Amino acid sequence: MDSEIKNEEQVKNKDEIKKNTDAKTIHLKKSEGTASLYEWVHSLVFAVAVVVILLTFFVRLVDVSGTSMKQTLQNNDKVIVTNFFYTPKQGDIVVISHGAEYSEPIIKRVIATEGQSLDIDFKTESVIVDGKELDESYIQGHTHQEDGEIPKVIPEGKVFVMGDNRGVSMDSRSKAIGLIDVKDIIGKAQFVVFPFNSMKFLG
C-alpha cells in the first residue's frame, strides 16, 4: 500500500513538474515574442525618425512648376534638393523660397555669386562673368532685357539667377525677383527622380 501511495505521489510530482516546466516555457516564449515585437517597433520608429530628420534638414523632394528651366527641367519633374552645409556656386540649379516681390518658391540657375562681376549683352545675348563669356549650351529662347537692374558686381550675400528657358523665365532680370539673398536659397537641385524616363544627375 505504501508503495502504491509513493508511486501515486511520484506521478503527481512529475505531473506538477511538467506543468510548471510547460508554464515556464510558455511564459518564456511570450517574453521572447514581446521583446521581438518591441525591438521591431523600436527599429521602425528610429528609421522613421531618421527619414523625417533627413527630409527636414538635409534632403527635400521638390516639384518643378512651369517651363522656365526647360530643357534642363520640365514641368512636374520631381527633383531631390540638398542643403547640408551648402554654399551657392556659379552654374548650380537652386530652389529659392521667394523673390523680391514674388512670394512663391522658384527654381533657377545661379549665374553669378557675391563679388563676381556681371555683364549681359542683350544684343548678342551673351552673359559675361568675371570678364569671361559663359558657355551656356543649356539655354533655350532669347536672353532679353527685363525691368530689373543688372549690377556690375554682385553684392555680398546675394546671387544673380536666371532660368534656362530665357525667353519665358522671370528671374533676376526682373524687379519681381531681383537679386536673391543667399538665406532665401532652400538648397541645390541634385537629381531628377521622376518621371523615371527623365532621371538624371544635375551636377
The catalytic site residues sit at 68, 108
Residue from 65, 68, 95, 80 nearest 201 by CA: 80
Coil, helix or strand at residue 17: helix
Separation between Cα atoms, residue 161 and residue 156, nearest integer Å: 15
Say which residues have a Cβ less than 8 Å from residue 48's Cβ, sequence separation at least 6: none
The sign of the dihedral angle between the CA atoms of 57, 115, 126, 136 is negative
Phi first, then psi: what are they for 38, rounded to 5°?
-60, -45
Cis peptide before 90 (omega within 30 of 0): no
CB 164 within 8 A of CB 70: yes
Separation between Cα atoms, residue 167 and residue 146, nearest integer Å: 11
